[in-house]
Amino acid sequence: MKNYPPRFKADAVALYRLRPEATIRQVATDLGISPETLRNWVRAAGASRPRGRRAEVPAEPPTLLEAENAALREKVRELEEEREILRKAAKYFAGKTRW
């Protein structure tokens, strides 16, 4: 199970609210997260989409680029962790084969 920072969660929910034409699945795909994860965050935040015209926008809504950057940073962190695990495994197995 992945842990996302609270700021990323809040930004994802805000992004969903600010894109009335997009579905949860589309927003989640854009952010690189599971649709069910985003759906749970939206429910937990009690965030619903404004009906009709847009309701008041939060003071600092995340832009699409900011949300995408946050998702990409998370992906980079994940890939760096995976790379480090593979490096350690390679060192371990290299040591095992040299008798």
CATH number at residue 42: 1.10.10
| 11 is a domain residue | yes
Looking at the structure of the chain, the number of domains it has is: 1
54 lies in some domain? no
Task: Tell me which of 32 and 97 has the higher pLDDT.
Answer: 32
DSSP sequence for 8-38: HHHHHHHHHHH-TTS-HHHHHHHHTS-HHHH
- What mean pLDDT is predicted for residues 70-88? 89
The answer to the question of residue 33 being in a domain is yes
Q: Tens digit of pLDDT for each residue in 12-62?
A: 898 888 888 889 999 999 888 999 999 999 999 885 665 544 445 555 667
> For residue 28, what are its two tokens?
């989640």
Query: Cα–Cα distance between 16 and 80 in angstroms, integer?
Result: 28
Please count the helices (runs of H) and the strands (runs of E) in the chain: 4, 0
For residue 83, tell me if it sits in a domain. Answer: yes
- Provide the residue range defining the domain that includes 89: 6-49+59-97
The crossing angle, in degrees rounded to 10, of helices 35-45 and 24-31 is 110
Q: Is residue 1 part of a domain?
A: no
